[in-house]
Amino acid sequence: MGIYHLTLHFLADRQREKVKRFMISEKEIFQRTGLLMGSSYLELAAQKRVIILGVGGVGSWCAEMLIRSGIGHLTLVDSDKVAVTNINRQLMATTKTIGRVKVDVLKERLLEINPHAEVVSIQAVYSPETAGSFKLETYDFIIDAIDSLSNKAHLIRFASQMPGVFFSSMGAALKIDPSCIRVDEFWKVKGCPLAAALRTRIKKSGGLEKKILCVYSNEVRENRGEKLSIEGQDTPVSQWDTKKARINGTMSYLPAIFGMTLASLVVKEIDAAFLTD
């Protein structure tokens, strides 16, 4: 059999698999969710538009939990490609996906979970210059899971002006104890160096338009391993904000729990809206 015929067979198999997935209804996929939350929750969740900025160790897990919770419209924003050092903590990172665009790999996985969902992947950096291009005003929920200090500070301030609900993740590195994870209002976060640095910047910029909730940990730890230079690491040097920038260690499960907690905030917000209608 020639290459041409093999290609046709391969494409036909993929098309059959796609059709087979679509034959599975959302009612079947979310049967157990419906038992817990009710059909009205599922109807509301399917209508909600969510954007996640940053799909690394926190954002990737948040994305999957949202899709598994019935969210019908999800936009993924990240500029990076999968690197070998992502494998210990990022959902889409495996030895097979190294070098591929993160948002594209994650989109494929999410559509395998729910092929009826609308998942949009955008390979881009959020920054003051690009902020307007994401049309944040069109989303019901905005999730911040980026790690560039200056861009994160801008996003928090900018998103606080949007009509949608905004949730932000603070630093998940240098943590191993899930019992130290907290949810609190941005100005009340304690024991998180990233939050302190963000507050300093945001105060100088004029503060926030509304209160926002953050996921953070008050655990204090230090790196035990050898110090790593930012040169040659996954994140471009241009995205670091200080001459003292360093690479901090991360544990596999901690960023995932941050992401799952962010997803739970979205679910609870939708549930609360349903109960008050």
Which whole-number Å values give the CA distances from 275 to 44, 68, 80, 271, in the listed order? 11, 21, 39, 6
The answer to whether residue 238 scores a pLDDT higher than 50 is: no
Task: Give the strand pairing for 165-169 and 213-217.
Answer: parallel
The answer to which of 5-9, 87-91, 119-123, 159-163 has the lowest mean pLDDT is: 5-9
Domain assignment of residue 95, yes or no: yes
Task: Provide the mean pLDDT of the chain.
Answer: 90
The residue with tokens 């304690």 is 190
Say how many C-beta atoms besides its own lie within 10 A of residue 230's C-beta. Answer: 15
- For the beta sheet containing 141-144, the strands, ordered from the edge strand earlier in sequence to the opposite edge, are 118-122, 73-77, 49-53, 141-144, 165-169, 213-217, 181-185
The residue with tokens 């092929």 is 115
Q: Residues 172, 255: contact at Cβ < 8 Å?
A: yes
Q: What confidence tens digit (pLDDT) does each residue in 16-62 have? A: 565 566 689 999 999 999 999 999 999 999 999 999 999 999 999 99
The answer to whether residue 235 scores a pLDDT higher than 80 is: no
Domain assignment of residue 68, yes or no: yes
Q: What confidence tens digit (pLDDT) does each residue in 82-100 have? A: 999 999 999 999 999 999 9
pTM of the predicted structure, to 2 decimals: 0.88
Residue 214: what residue type? C
Q: Residues 55, 102: contact at Cβ < 8 Å?
A: yes
Domain assignment of residue 254, yes or no: yes
Q: Quote the number of domains for the chain.
A: 1
Closest CA to 126 of 163, 151, 156, 98: 151
CB contact set of 27 (below 8 Å; sequence gap of 6+): 34
Q: Which domain holds residue 146?
A: 38-220+228-276
Query: For a pLDDT cut of 70, what percent of the chain falls above it?
Result: 84
Phi/psi for 143 (5° steps) reads -115, 125
Domain assignment of residue 211, yes or no: yes
Q: What is the CATH number of the domain that holds 179?
A: 3.40.50.720
Domain assignment of residue 17, yes or no: no
Domain assignment of residue 101, yes or no: yes
CB contact set of 185 (below 8 Å; sequence gap of 6+): 211, 212, 213, 214
Domain assignment of residue 250, yes or no: yes
Domain assignment of residue 15, yes or no: no
CB contact set of 225 (below 8 Å; sequence gap of 6+): 249
